[in-house]
Structures are given as structure tokens and as C-alpha cells.
Amino acid sequence: MVPRPHRNDLWLLGLLASGFLLNQLYIRHFATPAFFRNYLDDLLCMPLVLLLARCILQLLPLRNRPRRLPPYFVLTAFFMFALYFEAILPRYNADFTADPLDVAVYAAGCLLFAAWEYRPTAKIKID
């Protein structure tokens, strides 16, 4: 039997993607507060990317498929996004700015994902 992503994960993935897309539409057509314009996408980005990565990993035909992403995977994704989007990309593309607060928002997104990913699961006791 091939494990599939849990339906709660797919539901959350759809919710995060919808929030991201709705925010993009909203900021393009309406005057928005700075948080929505500058930081909401960054906050939703890390949980969205990490949850998508885990769902994809669960679909791959690997012998030891992880049920949860290891913490080093979450930290690696955080450092890669922070380095690329806040240090490298602003040097080569004028459309991007280096904002240290974005790094904090990426970290908050990783913490939100970690709270979901590593939450305690209910133990079913069979007598």
C-alpha cells in the first residue's frame, strides 16, 4: 500500500495556497495595510513550501518515507529562503529589497509549520 498525504494536510495546503492567492489579488486591486502588502506572503510561504515538500515526499517511491519532515529540513529551507530572497536576489534584481524583518517573518512561518508538523498526536489505546 502506497502512503498518501493525509487529507488534513491537503486541506491545509489548499487553505494556505488560497490565502496566498487571495492576498496577491487583494494587494493588486485595493489599498492594503503594510502587513498584507509586505509580510503576509512571506508568512504563508514557508508553511506552504514545507507542507508541499512533505506531501511530495510521501508520494515518492522511497523505501523509508518520512511521516514528518526532519527539523534540519525546516531549518535548511529557512536559511535557503532567507539567504536567496534577502541577500542574493536583491543584489541582482532591483524589484527585490533586502528587508531583515522578512527574515523574522520567514522564521515565524517556520515556527507555524513546526507547530503543525510536530504537534502531539492522539494515542489510541486498544484493550
Query: The pTM is what?
Result: 0.76
DSSP 61-90: --SS--SS--HHHHHHHHHHHHHIIIIIHH
**DSSP 3-state of 103:** helix
In this predicted structure, the answer to whether residue 125 has a pLDDT above a threshold of 70 is no
Contacts of 11 (CB under 8 A, 6+ apart): none
What integer best gives the mean pLDDT of the chain? 82
Interval 11-39: pLDDT, tens? 777 777 777 777 777 777 777 777 767 78
Cell digits of residue 97: 529589497
Confidence of residue 80 (pLDDT cuts 50, 70, 90): very high
Extents of the domains making up the chain:
7-117
C-beta neighbour count of 75 within 10 angstroms: 13
Q: Which of 60-74, 83-97, 113-127 has maximum average pLDDT?
A: 83-97
